[in-house]
Amino acid sequence: HAADAMRTDLMTITRHVLNEQSRFPEARGDLTILLNNIVLGCKFVCSSVSKAGLAKLIGLAGETNVQGEEQKKLDVLSNHVFINALVSSGRTNVLVSEENEEAIFVESSKRGRYCVVFDPLDGSSNIDCGVSIGTIFGIYMLKEGASGTVEDVLQPGTAMLAAGYCMYGSSCTLVLSTGAGVNGFTLDPSLGEFILTHPNIKIPKKGKIYSVNEGNAKHWDGPTTKYVENAKFPKDGSSPKSLRYIGSMVADVHRTLLYGGIFMYPGDKKSPKGKLRVLYEVFPMSFLVEQAGGQSFTGKQRALELVPAHIHDRSPIFLGSSDDVEEIKALYAAES
Ligand code: AHM
Ligand code: MG
């Protein structure tokens, strides 16, 4: 009976990744093991985030624990959890975290073939008020013969093998691509498992939403200004677009993937490179958006073709529905 099959045949994220990996017999389950450790990190952060408000109310945050240490801030705690999960997987080599100035080189006894770039808890301005925040990650594989240096992660986004994010919102949602489309999984708290709830996500070709910090409009360049002007006062007789901006990249991109539209963090006169980081914000999100059938643009080029010179480099970013990104590309082309 079909309805019974639905209820009993749960597609967990592990099972899904194992299935996908059958495309690459040489992967030997290493990527599955690595992703399982990332998933563990996400579950831990999810549980900490959901307890954070409560801990504050009952006076836990800021108190010292039995060892006399101060309770760690959520972003610092998340970073430690992810680093430990990644290192202990035995599958990683070079790690880059938004929270660490320098790249981390895994000790030789625990080294593997994968490099992981990540932002353990993005959306810092939303942490203390309980608004959605998230973890973003991208995975590279060491090239044949590479020894594991910072050069191994200073690679274009096109070289990424997999990317994803986990959103800690009204539910905990993990969106992943290993290069064959995009799938979304929702944490079932009673099982402690991520279950496939959004198979084969495709971003709508054109959207009705634009998402940008308009408080920066004073400093914007011509194309960004024109794009937003068009969104509000369309000249072709179409309806104006809606504005949605959460200020958490994970939540803003998640909505863009599901509902369509454009998310932008442009460069401006004050910050020519914008705010968002190439390796662990721009690349993973651009990878997912392209895998879902959308586009991602820096104002000059396809975002995934950037080659970062430093691990914390920034870039302007426009990503989302194909038609909407096409429009901003045309505005930049007309300007140059
Ligand atoms: P963070 O690393 O301090 O959390 O900053 C990254 C966040 C993104 O999640 C979000 O897209 C952007 O900053 C919002 O920036 P702004 O507050 O300037 O609009
Ligand atoms: Mg960040």
Question: Per-residue pLDDT tens for 115-139?
Answer: 999 999 999 889 888 899 999 999 9
> Is the model's pLDDT at 63 over the cut of 60?
no
> Is the model's pLDDT at 61 over the cut of 60?
no
* Averaged pLDDT of the chain: 92
Instruction: Report pLDDT for 128.
Output: 84
Instruction: Report pLDDT for 256.
Output: 98
Task: Summarize the confidence of residues 56-71 as an average pLDDT.
Answer: 56
Phi and psi of 15, rounded to 5°?
Answer: -65, -40
C-beta of residue 173 within 8 angstroms of C-beta of residue 254: yes
Segment holding 175, helix H or strand E: strand 172-177
Each residue of 262-282: b (16+ CB within 10 Å) or e? bbbbbbbeeeeebbbbbbbbb
pLDDT bin (cut points 50, 70, 90) of residue 8 is confident
Q: Which residues have CB under 6 Å of ligand 1?
A: 122-125, 213, 247-249, 252, 265, 275
Segment holding 85, helix H or strand E: helix 74-88
pLDDT bin (cut points 50, 70, 90) of residue 22 is confident
CA pair distance 261, 192, nearest whole angstrom: 32
Written as six digits, the tokens of 306 are 């950037």
- CA distances from residue 58 to 52, 54, 148, 274 in whole angstroms, order as listed: 10, 6, 45, 39
Closest protein CA for atom 5 of ligand 1: 123
What ligand 1 atom has the least distance to the C-alpha of 124?
A: 4
Distance, C-alpha 4 to centroid of its chain:
34
Query: From the CA of 168, how far away is ligand 2's center (Å)?
Result: 14
Dihedral Cα 78, 246, 206, 184, nearest 10 deg: 30
Among 48-57, 191-200, 204-213, the least confident range? 48-57
Q: Are strands 92-97 and 209-211 parallel, antiparallel or unpaired?
A: unpaired
51 DSSP 8-state letter: H
> Is the model's pLDDT at 266 over the cut of 80?
yes
CA neighbor of 119 nearest in space, from 102, 103, 133, 99: 99
> Is the model's pLDDT at 80 over the cut of 80?
yes
Task: Summarize the confidence of residues 252-278 as an average pLDDT.
Answer: 97
Closest protein CA for atom 11 of ligand 1: 249
Task: Summarize the confidence of residues 283-299 as an average pLDDT.
Answer: 98
> Is the model's pLDDT at 1 over the cut of 60?
no
Burial-class residue 97 by CB neighbours within 10 Å (0-12, 13-18, 19+).
buried
Helix, coil or strand: residue 131: coil
Instruction: Report pLDDT for 5.
Output: 53
Task: Summarize the confidence of residues 56-64 as an average pLDDT.
Answer: 57
C-beta of residue 262 within 8 angstroms of C-beta of residue 224: no
C-beta of residue 123 within 8 angstroms of C-beta of residue 131: yes
Interface ipTM above 0.95: yes
More confident residue, 1 or 92: 92
Task: Summarize the confidence of residues 300-325 as an average pLDDT.
Answer: 98
Mutate to test the pocket of ligand 1, among 275, 281, 314, 317 (most ligand atoms within 8 A of CB): 275
